[in-house]
Amino acid sequence: MIEVKEQKQTYATRFERIEAGVVEGGSASLLAIRKAAFSRFTELGFPTTKHEEWQYTNIAPIAEAEFERMETDTASGSIDDIAPFNFGACAATLVFMNGKFAPHLSAVGNLHEGIRARSLADALSSDDPLITRHLARHAKFDEHAFTALNTAMMEDGAFVYIPPGVVVEQPIHLIYLTSSAQPGSYHPRNLFVLGSSSQATLVESYAGLEGTRYFSNPVTEIVTEAGAVLDHYKIVRESDEAFHVSTLQLHQHQGSNASSTTVSMNGRLVRNDIRTLLDGDGCDCTLNGVQVIDGTQHVDNHLVVDHAKPNCNSREFFKNVLNGKSRGVFSGRIMVREDAQKTDAKQTNQSLLLSEDAQVDSKPQLEILADDVKCTHGATIGQLDEDAVFYLQSRGLDFETARSLLVYAFAREVIDEVRIDGLRNQLDELLIARLPQGQLLRERL
């Protein structure tokens, strides 16, 4: 208890600095939101495993570590550091070193007129009306301590706006890289607004250099106006000592189409809250995800699909591959509100346990208040099919390679859906590298 109190103390000091304007805090209305969020965080405190939504994920190490705000020099980092995360031509690449925008590493090409792709700190100081309208208006912090903390503490992040009717062909890429040898924490905040009938692809990569120890608490808010089409990817490649607790909030308006894929590979403890509000007639939403983890890694994906309006479709497809002593958690809630008739919602969660000590917890949930709906969820947990392994062995593959090939095929199903060629190849490489006998497999493929 005392530790938690002290911890709150650390955050309180930091918050006072934001209040005092030491850190650029933006407009007065934003300051009011920050204050509300901070007082909510103080009330909630860090969740314990007694909390229904945190039952299987113990975040005590984060609360105990007392991470200080990460101090950084904006000029830190080199092009070589970020090279492994690039996957090909992008319309814009925004790089954040230790949570701070690094202009010397970022590249914003010739964007269509009206498109905004800039750092949030920058946007906050320029009083953009879109910021006032959208920032912190979608990701609810009343029930989520980490979102509250982010809302109170956010300093930098990305702000992207696509004007109505504009189609951005190439992806916009955000890279968050932690290189600081000093342990610390930061709270990136991203806001994407897609105007009506616009189209864009966004990729968020979170990574840390080897041996870095930190706590990253990003919150991303995405608004898709009527008829907009969004393709979103989030790749978690944090360092092995890092904690990553993130929230993604989608707010979809009429007839918009959003697809989001979350790939979690590295990080000591990863928690992804992925929420979408289908707030218009005829929306389409696809949420995919795969995690391939090992050692003592812990990955928790919490999904909420809120069908608030009729005629919407949602699809969720999440896969876990667990090795070593790792633990995978999946919680998916489909909510269908009273007037969301003709809803078609489907959720699938499949887990593969590769080792004796791996464990998985799955909580697929349906909450349905409308009658003319089609909702299903399915969860399976198991191991590799012995017959399939035997078949591959009979074809001359050794046991380990045969197993690796089947695991590869299992996880590839999600990666296959990635629509950016460069990114798909990058993820494919990452996946192979994480498999036992991956090298052998690569040669054979």
Which residue ranges make up the site for another protein (CB under 8 A)? 52, 56, 338, 341, 351, 353-356, 358-383
Residue-level length of the chain: 445
Task: Tell the smallest beta-carbon distance from residue 357 to another protein (Å).
Answer: 8
CB of 359 to another protein, least distance (A): 4
DSSP class of 294: -
Nearer to another protein, 44 or 381 (CB): 381
As a whole number of angstroms, the distance between CA 175 and CA 241 comes to 19
| Of residues 23 and 368, the one with the C-beta less far from another protein | 368
Q: How far is the CB of 281 from another protein (least distance, A)?
A: 17
Beta carbon of residue 293, minimum distance to another protein (angstroms, whole number): 14
Beta strands in 323-394 (DSSP E): 327-336, 344-353, 359-368, 374-382
CB nearer to another protein: give 4 or 366: 366
Q: Are residues 405 and 441 in contact, defined by beta-carbon separation less than 8 angstroms? A: yes
Say which amino acid occupies 350.
Q
For residue 159, the cross-strand partners are 118, 191
Cβ proximity to another protein: between 171 and 364 the closer is 364
Nearer to another protein, 44 or 368 (CB): 368
Q: Whose Cβ is closer to another protein: residue 377's or residue 412's?
A: 377
* Planar angle of CA 114, 252, 244, nearest 5 degrees: 90
Give whichever of 50 and 395 is closer to another protein, judged by the CB atom. 50
Residue 62 CB, nearest approach to another protein (Å): 23
- Is 260 strand, coil or helix? strand
Residue with tokens 């992925």: 274
Secondary structure class of 292 (helix, strand, coil): strand
In angstroms, what is the minimal distance from the CB of 58 to another protein? 14
CA separation for the pair 135, 438 (Å, rounded): 43
Q: Residue 101: helix, strand or coil by DSSP? A: strand
Tell me the backbone φ, ψ of residue 142, rounded to 5 degrees: -65, -25
Non-local (6+) Cβ contacts of 306 within 8 A are 275, 276, 277, 278, 335, 337
Tell me how far, at minimum, the Cβ of 360 lies from another protein, in Å: 5
